Amino acid sequence: DTAVSQTPKYLVTQMGNDKSIKCEQNLGHDTMYWYKQDSKKFLKIMFSYNNKELIINETVPNRFSPKSPDKAHLNLHINSLELGDSAVYFCASSQIRTGKAFFGQGTRLTVV
Amino acid sequence: DQQVKQNSPSLSVQEGRISILNCDYTNSMFDYFLWYKKYPAEGPTFLISISSIKDKNEDGRFTVFLNKSAKHLSLHIVPSQPGDSAVYFCAAQRLRLIQGAQKLVFGQGTRLTINP
């Protein structure tokens, strides 16, 4: 029974397209995140939501728009995809302030 | 500006011996530190953590040491097992009053290989 699940696992698309990645957690956590792992393997936070409210918005291009329809779901929509958007995107959730986050399996996005 | 650094991209250890993974940080405001383990094509999984008020935390074969004055932490795995082969990420965090405002700042990872 997967705690944090994201779909799709792999996504190959052309430049200029719009795509979405979905994330769901069944842990009952209030906080959800999107992290990006770039080609140099750095994992960096993009967004956090707490109870559907945007809390953290790092310096991410506004082509990236997160949406949280409820506290168990956090989706990531990306407009006008660029080659540099190719990366692995991880969804995560946590409950307490001590940051023990649970991660999904990742979505490998390849823009061609 | 990389606030958390893991200077060893890879480490190879014999099965049964001790594995020591190192991590340095620059931000003295960090007050919670975590280690995550990652297998290929999977997300990071939490391994062990330590608060800045402690200098050691142990969980089975895994021990994390924190040296605040040196801004250095290390993860010891003993004895090392083949299943420990993975990429290990060090992460740091500032505790925040606002739920959701805390974020993990990751190092770039160390690939640990345990040789039989």
Condensed to tens digits (0 to 9), the pLDDT of residues A7-25 reads 999 999 999 999 999 999 9
CB contact set of B1 (below 8 Å; sequence gap of 6+):
none
pLDDT at B103: 86
Residues A29, A15: Cα–Cα separation, whole Å: 35
Residues A87, A96: Cα–Cα separation, whole Å: 28
pLDDT at B99: 73
Residues A33, A54: Cα–Cα separation, whole Å: 10
pLDDT at A40: 82
* Interchain CB distance below 8 Å, B46 and A45: no
Is the CB of residue A66 less than 8 Å from the CB of residue A78?
A: no
Query: What average pLDDT does the structure give for chain B?
Result: 94
Residues B30, B32: Cα–Cα separation, whole Å: 6
Give the one of A9, A41, A56 whose C-beta lies nearest to B101's C-beta: A56
pLDDT at A102 over 70: yes
Q: What SS3 state is found at A74?
A: strand
pLDDT at B100 over 80: no
Residues B6, B20: Cα–Cα separation, whole Å: 12
Query: How far does A59 lie from chain B, in Å, by closest CA?
Result: 14
B54 in contact with chain A, both atoms CB, cutoff 8 A: no
Task: State the best of B42, B53, B104, B105 to mutate against chain A, taking most chain A CBs within 10 Å.
Answer: B104
pLDDT at A98 over 70: no
pLDDT at B38: 96
Per residue in B30-86, pLDDT tens?
989 999 999 999 999 999 999 999 999 999 999 999 999 999 999 999 999 999 999
In this prediction, residue A1 has a pLDDT band, given cuts at 50, 70 and 90, of low
Is the CB of residue B81 less than 8 Å from the CB of residue B62?
A: no
Of B22, B64, B31, B2, give the one whose Cα is nearest residue A42. Answer: B2
A70 in contact with chain B, both atoms CB, cutoff 8 A: no
Is the CB of residue B106 less than 8 Å from the CB of residue B3?
A: no
In this prediction, residue B2 has a pLDDT band, given cuts at 50, 70 and 90, of confident
In this prediction, residue A39 has a pLDDT band, given cuts at 50, 70 and 90, of confident
* Interchain CB distance below 8 Å, B44 and A41: no
Per residue in A45-95, pLDDT tens?
999 998 888 888 887 899 999 999 998 999 999 999 999 999 999 999 987
Q: Which of A31-35, A38-42, A83-87, A98-102 shows the lowest per-residue confidence on average (mean pLDDT)?
A: A98-102
pLDDT at A55: 86
pLDDT at B78: 97
Report how far apart, in Å, the C-alpha atoms of B10 and of each of A3, B52, B85 are: 30, 26, 11
Tokens of A4: 């944090």
